[in-house]
Structures are given as structure tokens and as C-alpha cells.
Amino acid sequence: MTEQIVPGSTVTLHYTLALPDGTVADTTGSGEPLTFTLGTGTMIEGLEHALMGLKPGDHQELKIPPESGYGFPDPEARHPMPRSSFPKDMTLEVGMIMSFDFPDGGEAPGAIISVDDDEVLVDFNHPLAGMEVTFTVDIIDVKPPQLT
């Protein structure tokens, strides 16, 4: 019997993530497929819901809107930082994505929005926030949920 994807299934798939203009943002391509357990938060909520009921051999194109994908941009996620917080010899350019360390030990990527002599404006929103994205998936294997 072929297993269908249900909450707790371990799913192995190949995927391509495309932006609204068709640009490929991420793909497993001809590399190793991705294996994850549905419901653990590994994947965005909209994709997990869209995978429900699929089985090995299925090929689907799944459009995921912002509200169940990467969310909407939050103006509160834009933070001004003193230019002095960055190395003097570092060239900062608009659009540059950098990793930032937080006092709690966490880390997050941020995109440089503007730079002047005194201040750097950094956007910590997910780069895909506000976009409807398309996942093209090929389901390779589905293992049933593990009973604990």
C-alpha cells in the first residue's frame, strides 16, 4: 500500500522554489533530496498543508500565499544601527545581506536598506516576505508517522 502524507509522516522529496517572476530561489535540483517530518516546523505552514495527501510518485506545483508562507513584511523588523557598529573598512552596500548576532546568542540575516555616514538601516524581514511563492515538488518517499 502506498503511504499518503499525513501529519507526522517522514517525507523525502525534490523541490524547486520559484519567485513570482519565475526566478528559482532554491532547489534540490539534481542533488540530494530533502527529507523532513511533517509538522515539526521544518517547512513553512502553507507547504506542509499543500503536501497533505500526496504520495510517492506525485508531481505537484503548489502556490503558497504570503499568509501561509513567509508572511508579510513587518515595518518593526527594520532597525537603524550606528555605522560605528560595523568595521570601518567594511564596504556596506544597499541590498547586501549579512548575518547579525543578538545578545541572547541568536543569529539572523538582515538586508542593508540604506547607508549614510552615521546610520545603517537593516531589514530583518524574511527576504520572501510578502511574496506568493511556487514550490514544484516530486514526492520520492513517504514513511508513516512513528508511534511513540
pLDDT at residue 148, as a whole number: 62
Q: Do domains 10-71+128-143 and 75-123 have the same CATH topology?
A: no
Give the largest Cα separation in the chain, rounded. Answer: 65
Q: What pTM was estimated for this model as a whole?
A: 0.80
CB distance 12 to 34 below 8 Å: yes
Q: Is the pLDDT of residue 108 over 90?
A: no
pLDDT digits (tens, 9 = 90+) for 51-87: 999 999 999 999 999 999 999 999 999 999 999 999 9
Using DSSP's 3-state secondary structure scheme, residue 126 falls into: coil
DSSP state at residue 85: G
CB-based contacts of 76: which residues, under 8 Å, 6+ apart? none
Q: Considering only the top CATH level, what class is 10-71+128-143?
A: alpha beta
Pick the CATH number of 75-123 from 3.40.190.10, 2.40.10.330, 2.60.40.420, 3.40.50.2000: 2.40.10.330
